[in-house]
Amino acid sequence: MVSSLKAYGSKRGHKLKSVRVFHVNSGACNGCDIELLDILTPFYDIERLGVKLVSTPRHAHALLVTGPLTRKTASAVVRAYEAMPPEPRIVIAVGTCACSGGIFYDSYALYRRIGGSMFDVPRRGGISELIPVHIYIPGCPPRPEEIIYGISLLLELVNERVSKQYYKEESLEDYKLTRRKSPISERLKYSLREKTRHIVGYFDRDRVLEKFLEIVQMAEKSENPRKRLSELIDEYCAKEEDSRVRECLKILERDYWRLKNALLSREEVIYWI
């Protein structure tokens, strides 16, 4: 949770004793909205801190936004933001989608600036693409305790425990996902994976496919991979007691060459995905 509000007390001459909040859903799945309803219940009772939801942005100190910023709702968010009083006009992004776009960060349906951005974050699609955000409360969805803590930062009831970190190109290596190397392309692998599921089911799918890929890797090292692959599969099937596995390996061998030749020649083929 990151706050760019150091203290509204120093800016306004006094700190906020209470805050009126207007909620805007900019395309959320309602997961974060349910958590907002939860903090209003007697169990959490956020109104004891002086927080109250209002029905119009003209009476609001803070704009609380949930969901990724879709192109359809961008104009509504701007109108709500501009309708708020000029001071303090605080924006709170609740949920990962509102903070950075979440899993939809690269969707065509999201609003994003063309060209440079004032926020150097690797994922774009959050509310900061359109209006300045003062408090980020990430989570999918964030727990009620996290939302209360974020609003408590606004009221200066608690101290901030994290600092803002900026994304840099040099630090990208620390966040890269490592993939296991496969002897075949991912497209071909997942097509064979689905085919394997149809034959042996979910329980044995990965085990049988991994064995087939090991055989393929050994066969690809020979001068005649097609012939060598057939020999290796025959040797394995002679030792295998499960008839489903034997049949599956034979079918995978046939489909492997069919799909691989189609990919090399760029032909249109029917995949199992």
Most confident region among 155-159, 185-189, 197-201 by mean pLDDT? 197-201
Residue 273, pLDDT score: 42
Co-location of 110 and 225 in the same domain: no
User: What is the pLDDT confidence band of residue 6, given thresholds at 50, 70 and 90?
Assistant: very low
User: What is the pLDDT confidence band of residue 7, given thresholds at 50, 70 and 90?
Assistant: very low
Long-range contacts at 196-203 (CB < 8 A, ≥ 24 apart): 196/248, 196/252, 198/272, 199/244, 199/247, 199/248, 199/251, 200/244, 200/245, 200/248
Whether the per-residue pLDDT at 91 is higher than 70: the answer is yes
Assigned domain for 181 exists: no
Co-location of 207 and 113 in the same domain: no
Co-location of 84 and 20 in the same domain: yes
121-130, 204-213, 256-265: which has the minimum mean pLDDT?
121-130
Assigned domain for 66 exists: yes
Co-location of 50 and 126 in the same domain: yes
Q: What is the DSSP string of 160-176?
A: ---------GGGGGGGP
Looking up tokens 């803002």 gives 164
CA-CA distance, 16 to 37, in Å (whole number)?
23
CA 175, 162, 31, 80 dihedral sign is negative
Range of the domain at 110: 2-164
Report the predicted TM-score, pTM, of the whole model to 2 decimal places.
0.55
Co-location of 111 and 209 in the same domain: no
Query: In the listed set 134, 164, 194, which residue is the last one of a domain according to the structure?
Result: 164
Residue 82, pLDDT score: 92
Torsions phi, psi for 52 (to 5 deg): -145, 135
Whether the per-residue pLDDT at 155 is higher than 70: the answer is yes
Co-location of 234 and 134 in the same domain: no
Query: In the listed set 164, 195, 214, which residue is the last one of a domain according to the structure?
Result: 164
Q: Which two tokens stand for residue 69?
A: 């910023």
Whether the per-residue pLDDT at 176 is higher than 60: the answer is no
Assigned domain for 12 exists: yes
Region 163-186 average pLDDT = 59
Co-location of 86 and 149 in the same domain: yes
Assigned domain for 54 exists: yes
Assigned domain for 174 exists: no
Looking up tokens 């003062």 gives 134
Co-location of 13 and 104 in the same domain: yes
Query: In the listed set 107, 130, 164, which residue is the last one of a domain according to the structure?
Result: 164
- Domain CATH number, residue 113: 3.40.50.12280
* Residue 135 Cα distances to 91, 220, 247, angstroms: 7, 55, 58
Query: Which tens digits make up the pLDDT trace of 96-140?
Result: 999 888 888 778 788 876 444 444 444 567 888 888 888 889 888
Co-location of 139 and 198 in the same domain: no
Co-location of 15 and 141 in the same domain: yes
Region 167-186 average pLDDT = 59
CA-CA distance, 72 to 53, in Å (whole number)?
24
Co-location of 225 and 107 in the same domain: no
Assigned domain for 170 exists: no
Assigned domain for 223 exists: yes
Domain total in the chain: 2
Co-location of 78 and 160 in the same domain: yes
Assigned domain for 169 exists: no
